[in-house]
């Protein structure tokens, strides 16, 4: 017996169809993939110094760093003109199962790129601040004695 979902009055029903098969089991129509499925949503730091990444060690960051390769979650903060729109860009990408990435300048003049795993913005006296948590494969620990003042 085959069960079919029935929408009752006042109840909305969403069904996602991935493929339709004929009676022989052959696929007749595939559900189209999202056109931007493989495109990452980028947040780019255009000017200013390279961001400072601070290692974060909490339960929730450990869970988002899980994967086939060991990773560390680091946090960086940067000023922005429209933090709400940047966080929304990440949220929409994640909702569409696309990655969100941070493109930033490095101290050697090259560009760096890291995966964003969480984002938040907040209003501060100077304007808006964007807080990003990124996945880092390796993390260089700088001791207080090694810092130049």
CATH number, domain containing residue 48: 2.40.30
Residue 1 lies inside a defined structural domain of this protein:
no
Residue 20: pLDDT band by 50, 70, 90 thresholds?
low
Domain count, the chain: 1
Residue 77 lies inside a defined structural domain of this protein:
yes
Residue 149 lies inside a defined structural domain of this protein:
no
- CA–CA gap between residue 115 and residue 42 (Å, rounded): 9
pLDDT of 15 over the 50 cut: no
pLDDT of 143 over the 80 cut: no
Residue 124 lies inside a defined structural domain of this protein:
yes
At 34-92, the pLDDT tens digits run: 455 568 999 999 888 899 999 887 878 777 777 777 788 999 999 999 999 999 999 99
Residue 95 lies inside a defined structural domain of this protein:
yes
Residue 122 lies inside a defined structural domain of this protein:
yes
**Torsion region of 10: left, alpha or beta (phi above 0 gives left; psi -120 to 50 gives alpha):** left
Residue 34 lies inside a defined structural domain of this protein:
no
In contact, 27 and 21? CB cutoff 8 Å: yes
Residue 101: pLDDT band by 50, 70, 90 thresholds?
very high
In contact, 133 and 116? CB cutoff 8 Å: yes
Q: Measuring CA to CA, which residue among 114, 127, 48, 41 is closest to residue 82?
A: 127
Reported pTM? 0.67
* Structural domain harbouring 130: 41-139
Residue 145 lies inside a defined structural domain of this protein:
no
């Amino acid at each position: 017996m085959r069960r079919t979902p029935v929408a009752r009055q006042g109840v909305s029903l969403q069904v996602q169809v991935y493929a339709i098969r004929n009676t022989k089991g052959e696929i007749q129509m595939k559900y189209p993939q999202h056109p931007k499925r493989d495109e990452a949503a980028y947040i780019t730091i255009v000017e200013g110094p390279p961001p400072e990444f601070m290692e974060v060690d909490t339960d929730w960051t450990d869970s988002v760093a899980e994967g086939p390769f060991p990773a560390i979650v680091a946090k960086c903060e940067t000023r922005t003109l429209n933090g709400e729109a940047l966080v929304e860009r990440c949220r929409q990408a994640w909702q569409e199962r696309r990655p969100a990435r941070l493109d930033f300048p490095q101290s050697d003049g090259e560009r760096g790129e890291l995966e964003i795993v969480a984002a938040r913005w907040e209003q501060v006296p100077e304007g808006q601040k964007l807080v990003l948590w990124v996945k880092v494969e390796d993390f260089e620990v700088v001791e207080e004695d090694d810092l130049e003042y």
